[in-house]
Structure 1
Amino acid sequence: MRITIDVAMTYRFPRPNTVFLALEAAKGAGQTVVQEHLDIGRAALSRISGDSDVGERVWAQVPDCEMNLTYRALLDVTRPEPRFETLEAMPLHLIPGDVAPYLRPSRYCQSDKFMTFVQRRFGDLSGGLQILALRDWIETNLTYVPGSSDADTNVLETFAGRQGVCRDYAHLMCSLVRAAQIPARMVAVYSPDVEPPDFHAVTEVWLSGKWWLVDATGMTSAASMAIIAVGRDAYDVAFMDSQEPAELLVQSVAVKRV
């Protein structure tokens, strides 16, 4: 599937600023960047590898008190849909060293608090079938409510309140999967199926020796996602971190099938 991505944003700062960006589509992992262009005016840019070597992050030294940014890309997504019923969980002692950190609790994903719940509710399942059951439980029991959470909302609050946005769904999915002793990480993606159009958060789970995408909101599927970044939770995959207070003036995200 070929998709186009068009991002535009304007932020105001009290003084010249350095920002850390994660908004360019990653190369590889079932997707090919045909062409792309990032424009941040007079800002000086430097790049580093993203977490787990997925994608790149950009340091932008903005010399003015306003940042005008555009990002446009054309991608081919060739990733197949997972067949979760055929996938198996790996024994813990065989999980690779770069994957093992995604078994642990993190800032917004207190997975250790859910171990009893997962064992009692889903302990008779394993591997991909357990992942499907966890995904279905979240999609059934949570209500997608824009504005119902903020940047400080953690997974315990989401579980208790039974509502949230994609960030909260992904945090809960990561937490329940880790509680089942399966590695899980948060993934920032673009997708033409997301409504309203915006940066989207999903989950990757480690089964049968590979990472597999799953969206607990049910909005999109692996074959229509463009991966941006991965991490332990939202703290690691935020599209922008700013040294100075940032005032949003304009922001739009448009993703379309070609």
Structure 2
Amino acid sequence: MLLDITARLDYTLNAPSDILLQLEAAPLPDQRLIDPQIWTSPLDHFRRIPAEENIGDRVWVRGEGRFTCDYKSRVEVTREALDLAKLEQNPVHELPGDTIKYLMPSRFCPSDEFQSFVAAEFGTVSGGKRIVAIRDWIAEHFSYVPGSSNAQTSASDSFIQRQGICRDYAHVMITLARAGAIPARFASVYAPDVDPPDFHAVAEIYLGGAWHLVDATLMAKADEMAMIGVGRDAADVAFMTTFGMANFQDQSVEVRRVDDA
């Protein structure tokens, strides 16, 4: 699958400010970047650093006044869309060390509060079948409502309200998977068919000795996502984190299948 990706950020910085960006698709064994480009308005500083799990880069920038950042790339995605229901759950005592932190509660994913619910609702199935059941339960019981949540909304809040955006769906998916002793982490991706078009958030679940992308909104398929980065939850992989005051001017994301372009 070939995807053409463009993204633009446009903000005003009222004073000299530091910004941590993560909006470039990551080079990975199952996705190849073709002519990636990023350019910004004039800056005082621009420096790349490795992102979480060495998946992709973050970029430190520092500037003042009008700040714009444009990114574009063609991405060849060779990832297979597997049947999740056929994947086995790894026994907790056999999990690799680098997956353990993704079993634990995090800022937006208080998984320890949902163990009883997961046992009662999904206790008859395990492994990939449990993940499919959780994904489908969220898709059935939640409403996708732009503007219904904010940067402080946790999975607990979304679970009560039964609505949110992709970030919230991902947080609930991650929380319930962890509550069922399955490692899960937050993944920022680009994908076609996301409505409204934007940076997209999904879960990545550890099953059968590997990580697998799962979208509880059902808008994106694993073999049509270009991954940007991963983390414990949204706090680890925001596309833009500002240390200073930034005023929104404009922002756009477009992802097209090359055959549709």
Determine the structure 2 residue equivalent to 1:54. 55
After TM superposition, the runs of 4+ consecutive aligned structure 1 residues lying more than 6 A away are none
Over the matched positions of the two proteins, sequence identity in percent amounts to 46
Consecutive unaligned residues of structure 1, counting only runs of 5 or more, are none
Determine the structure 2 residue equivalent to 1:139. 139
Equivalences for residues 119-198 of structure 1 within 5 A = 119-198=119-198
Contact 2:17-2:245 within 8 A present in 1 as well? no
> 2:97 aligns to what SS in structure 1?
coil
Report whether the alignment pairs 1:83 with 2:83. Answer: yes
> 1:229 aligns to what SS in structure 2?
strand
Give the distance between the partners of 1:205 and 1:255, measured in 2 at CA.
24
Give the distance between the partners of 1:77 and 1:66, measured in 2 at CA.
34
Determine the structure 2 residue equivalent to 1:254. 254
Matched letter for residue 48 of structure 2: R
Determine the structure 2 residue equivalent to 1:200. 200
Report whether the alignment pairs 1:17 with 2:20. Answer: no
Matched letter for residue 75 of structure 1: V
- When residues 195 and 70 of structure 1 are mapped into structure 2, their CA distance, relative to the original with a 3 A threshold, is same
> 1:65 aligns to what SS in structure 2?
strand
Give the distance between the partners of 1:93 and 1:34, measured in 2 at CA.
40
Determine the structure 2 residue equivalent to 1:42. 42
Matched letter for residue 92 of structure 1: V
Contact 1:17-1:65 within 8 A present in 2 as well? no
Report whether the alignment pairs 1:225 with 2:232. Answer: no
> What is the total number of aligned residue pairs between the two structures?
257
Matched letter for residue 79 of structure 1: R
Determine the structure 2 residue equivalent to 1:236. 236
Consecutive unaligned residues of structure 2, counting only runs of 5 or more, are none
Determine the structure 1 residue equivalent to 2:28. 28
Moved more, 162-171 or 25-34: 25-34
User: How does the TM-score come out when normalised to structure 1?
Assistant: 0.98
Report whether the alignment pairs 1:112 with 2:95. Answer: no
- The alpha-carbon deviation at position 42 of structure 1 amounts to 2.2
Give the distance between the partners of 1:17 and 1:60, measured in 2 at CA.
8
- When residues 71 and 147 of structure 1 are mapped into structure 2, their CA distance, relative to the original with a 3 A threshold, is same
Contact 1:186-1:231 within 8 A present in 2 as well? yes
Contact 2:15-2:245 within 8 A present in 1 as well? no
Equivalences for residues 203-218 of structure 1 within 5 A = 203-218=203-218
Give the distance between the partners of 1:52 and 1:90, measured in 2 at CA.
20
User: How does the TM-score come out when normalised to structure 2?
Assistant: 0.97
